[in-house]
Amino acid sequence: MLPCLFAIAVAAFAVFTRSNATLVRTFVGAGIALVVWSAVLFASARRSNRTLVLEFAPRKQHWMQACAQGSVLLYWGWYVPLVYTFLPFVGVQLLFAYAIDSLLSWSRRDRYALGFGPFPVVLSTNLFLWFRLDWFHWQLAMIAVGFLAKELIRWKRDGRLAHIFNPSSFPLAVASLALLLTGTSDVTYGSFIANTQSDPPNIYLLIFLVSLPGQILFGVARMTLVAVVTMYTISLVYFAATGTYLFIDSHIPLPVFLGMHLLFTDPSTSPRSELGRICFGVMYAVLTTVLYVVLTAMGAPTFYDKLLPVPLMNLMVRRIDAWMASPWLSAVDPSRLGRSLTPRQRNVVVTALWAAVFVGMSAVQGVGDRHPGQYLPFWRKACESGVQRACTYTATLTNIYCQNGSGWACNETAILRRGRGESGDGEFTRACQLGFAPGCDNARQPGVAAASLRRGPPGAKDLPIVLRGTKPQLRERDLTRLYAIGCGQGWQELCVNPARAALDSPSPS
């Protein structure tokens, strides 16, 4: 009856989504399929005289991971309302996951351990990819694939059968590959997720803090530490070589940082040895970076970069442990150090080291909310130095600010267009309508060369928009404070007294 009850709950969710016929079909269809499976299982058990046993067996790693993932989801949703809107659909995925998990277990053995196992699978999946509601059946399919892979794709490891793939990363990678090959990324909220996860303040710190208990208990801080340091090093090398940032507005993008804590760190599908886990962390950082570069070159969405490498890495864990046990690597094996320490003590030491590295990186803006690449002045300066990539991004970000209602940005966008031989008249008109005086003057001069067009500093209405960087629009409205913020970001034209600037700025006519 247990999977039947979960199935009925899934089907009943159609009542709350009856205005969407596709969702109704999805939930009713999933419920019917689960009920049929339950009936077949019941009949089979009766025929073969099997006694199906249900036990309550909560495991620490499951509820601890769920607490960490749930904290990130709730904190993100506090600043991005659509996340809370989607939470009921996370709930129905949990019901579906419990039904699938129990049916799979009883179909293959007599005992099902009821615990919190489905929570980390579902929550981890929903931290990285959602299908839009008209395609929500694929969201349920991802959950089913994760549990099927965990139950059916196994190998012998350390003398016992174990699942090969992380049950959340495997379906995420399968879905990512399918979406890339079919060019259908727009049926998901993938870009929205990647672009809004960094909106909440101090989100890097939150992820770091909620991950600490699991890192201490399960010894996965080695992977996170090495992955973060490796990607940070790659970013610094790229900056030294090009003068711009590889990942645009961060050394380590927030979704990748999240993946380094709560995606690839599953202790069951990662190497056992300390040196192997260090190698695993390096691999994740390098493969994610390579995929980011490849996807960018292809013009494909880059949010897949952190999702695709994990199953490939899971397949290599036995080989990695074997390589790391080679005698010629014994000199660099960290397990030789502190042999008198217990495993838990070693985890505490490594986690403390990771905490020190995190604090240091936060101090130098390696992670956190104030990376220089978030702000337009950095890219304008790099563009003036002749970096074409910076010019392209400057134009993109300025146009975004124009669409968000900045007259200054519309005027700058129009001037950039005029410099490329385009008219830009529409943007000049919009700049004037938004109250930016130079835009009005330029709108009356069609065909004038870009060098002769009027410019000016952002006005009071522009500042909350253009000073946002890649974060949400600023709520600050005090002009003196806005000028101070802008000056700190590198806007030299704002390093003046705002009252004097207001007197010097003409009004639109």
CA-to-CA distance for 312 and 365, rounded, in angstroms?
A: 32
Residue 509 CA from chain centroid, whole number: 46
pLDDT at residue 509, rounded to an integer: 46
CA dihedral 63, 255, 472, 400 (to 10 degrees): -150
The secondary element (H helix, E strand) that includes residue 287 is helix 274-298
pLDDT at site 153: 95
CB neighbours of 171 closer than 8 A, spacing ≥ 6?
125, 141, 142, 143, 145, 146, 149
Long-range CB pairs of 237-246 (<8 Å, 24+ gap) are 242/387, 242/389, 243/382, 243/385, 243/387, 243/390, 244/373, 244/379, 244/382, 244/387, 244/389, 244/390, 245/371, 245/372, 245/373, 246/289, 246/292, 246/293
**At what angle are helices 118-126 and 60-79 packed, to 10 degrees?**
30
pLDDT for 500: 58
Give the per-residue pLDDT at 332.
81
Kindly give, in sequence order, each residue whose CB lies less than 8 Å from that of residue 370, ignoring residues fewer than 6 positions away.
Answer: none
Helices (H), 60-202: 60-79, 81-108, 118-126, 137-152, 169-182, 190-196
pLDDT of residue 144: 97
Q: What are phi and psi of 20, to 5 degrees?
A: -115, 105
Q: What are the structure tokens assigned to 171, written together?
A: 């379906």
Give the separation between CA 119 and CA 105, rounded to whole angstroms: 16
Q: Is 243 left (phi over 0), alpha (psi -120 to 50) or beta?
A: left
Q: What is the pLDDT of residue 499?
A: 61
Per-residue pLDDT, 339: 79
Blockwise average pLDDT, block size 10, the chain, 509 residues: 94 93 96 96 93 92 94 97 96 97 95 95 97 97 97 91 94 97 96 95 96 93 96 97 95 97 93 93 98 96 97 95 85 80 90 97 93 94 93 94 95 92 90 94 87 90 93 89 93 79 52
E strand residue ranges, 186-306: none
CA dihedral sign, ordered 316, 321, 327, 331: positive
What is the C-alpha separation between 345 and 135, in angstroms, rounded?
A: 47
| Chain centre to alpha carbon of residue 107 | 35
Q: Which residue's structure tokens are 């060098």?
A: 451
- Report which secondary-structure segment, H or E, holds 156: strand 154-157
Residue 48 φ then ψ, to 5°: -95, 10
Tokens 């299982």 belong to residue: 41
CB atoms < 10 A from the CB of 503, how many? 8
The upper half-sphere exposure of residue 105, i.e. CA atoms within 13 Å in the direction of its Cβ, equals: 20
CB of 430 within 8 A of CB of 407?
Answer: yes
pTM: 0.92
Query: What confidence score (pLDDT) does residue 506 get?
Result: 52
**What pLDDT, on the 0 to 100 scale, is given for residue 328?**
82
**Per-residue tokens: 272:** 């056992």
Report residue 71 as tokens. 């904290």
HSE (CB half, 13 Å, CA atoms) of 350?
29
Of 305, 73, 83, which is closest to residue 176 (Cα–Cα)? 305
**Strand pairing class (154-157; 160-163):** antiparallel
| Beta pairing, strands 111-114 & 154-157 | unpaired
Question: Which residue ranges make up each domain of the chain?
Answer: 52-372, 375-504
Q: Please count the CA atoms within 13 angstroms of the CA of 157 that sit on its side-chain side.
A: 21
